[in-house]
Amino acid sequence: MLNDFTSAIRPALIMTLLFAALLGLAYPAALTGIGQAVFPAQANGSLIREGDRVIGSELIGQAFASPAYFHGRP
């Protein structure tokens, strides 16, 4: 009876660990690598730099063309 239980549980545990490693580590790492290779600026947050200092991101706030507005909301 114990042998039947272990023969049924072993493949389930192996597949669980395999898919956890594949979908939890390998897939995100592959997509991060592809994103960094194809779109490096966007993958890093579209940072705005002034010299060596990061002063913001292009993705935060609204762009206004009229000087009547003080600044956009985040």
**Stronger pLDDT, 30 or 1, i.e. the higher one:** 30
The candidate with the shortest Cα–Cα distance to 60, out of 47, 43, 49, 41, is: 47
Helix (H, G, I), strand (E, B) or coil at 48: strand
CA-to-CA separations, 58 to 48, 53, 55, 62, 74, in angstroms, rounded: 7, 15, 10, 9, 11
Query: For 39-61, what is each residue's pLDDT tens digit?
Result: 999 999 899 999 999 988 888 87
Q: Is the pLDDT of residue 69 over 90?
A: no
Q: Is the pLDDT of residue 73 over 70?
A: no
Split at pLDDT 50, 70, 90, the class of 71 is: low
Domain boundary assignment for the chain: 2-57
Helix (H, G, I), strand (E, B) or coil at 49: strand
